[in-house]
């Protein structure tokens, strides 16, 4: 089986697997996958990888808290302080672990895009940025200012990431929720990156 056939096989399996979950989660995952595929084509990236990553990004999202902590322990995922207050955030690194352990996905770019889709990270790959943005901007999402951010995401992934991270930071502050240092580091990184583009 060549790499293209293997990717198509994984996409078929992923559709079956994700469809077996909650209907709302499946619909969201399909929307993210389609948007990620479209964005990848627009920016000259691997559309199949983007679709598969989008489809599977929330594979651990419905797991109960005790199972997330158990799997994080098995995977030796460091338990950040923010996870104690918001355990659902662990679904990203735990999801990447499950994709490798149970689904046989070894592609490090796909795994990283799933791992980074909640908190963001400095020096994100093109696929990382696409999955982060598609998760935030898929057609089912409705919030004030989303259309402006969608337009930015059509033009420049780095500028869109800077603004998306700022939106997340502002929302967390408004809700009085804990902010992780990784998200702040990601925002500062993209601020510097975008500033260089303006020079």
Q: 34-48, 63-77, 169-183: lowest mean pLDDT where?
A: 169-183
The full set of domain ranges for the chain reads 3-198
Compute the average pLDDT of residues 21-27.
77
CATH value of 3-198 in 2.40.50.100, 1.10.3210.10, 3.30.1490.20, 3.90.230.10: 1.10.3210.10
Instruction: Residue 14: name the closest of 64, 48, 62, 65 by CA.
Output: 48
Instruction: Residue 162: name the closest of 141, 136, 199, 139 by CA.
Output: 136
Compute the average pLDDT of residues 73-82.
93
């Amino acid at each position: 089986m060549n790499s293209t056939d293997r990717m198509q096989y994984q996409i078929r399996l992923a559709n079956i697997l994700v469809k077996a979950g909650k209907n709302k989660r499946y619909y969201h995952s399909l929307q993210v996958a389609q948007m990620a595929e479209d964005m990848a084509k627009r920016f000259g990236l691997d559309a199949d990888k983007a679709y598969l990553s989008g489809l599977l990004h929330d594979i651990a999202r419905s797991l109960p808290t005790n199972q997330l902590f158990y799997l994080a322990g098995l995977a030796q995922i460091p338990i950040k302080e923010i996870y104690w207050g918001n355990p659902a955030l662990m679904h990203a690194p735990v999801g990447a672990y499950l994709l490798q352990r149970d689904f046989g996905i070894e592609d490090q770019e796909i795994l990283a895009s799933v791992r980074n889709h909640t908190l963001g990270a400095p020096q994100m790959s093109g696929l990382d940025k696409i999955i982060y943005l598609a998760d935030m901007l898929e057609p089912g999402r409705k919030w004030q200012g989303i259309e402006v951010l969608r337009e930015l995401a059509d033009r420049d992934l780095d500028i869109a990431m800077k603004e998306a991270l700022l939106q997340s930071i502002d929302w967390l502050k408004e809700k009085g929720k804990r902010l992780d240092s990784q998200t702040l580091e990601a925002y500062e990184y993209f601020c510097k990156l975008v500033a260089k583009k303006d020079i």
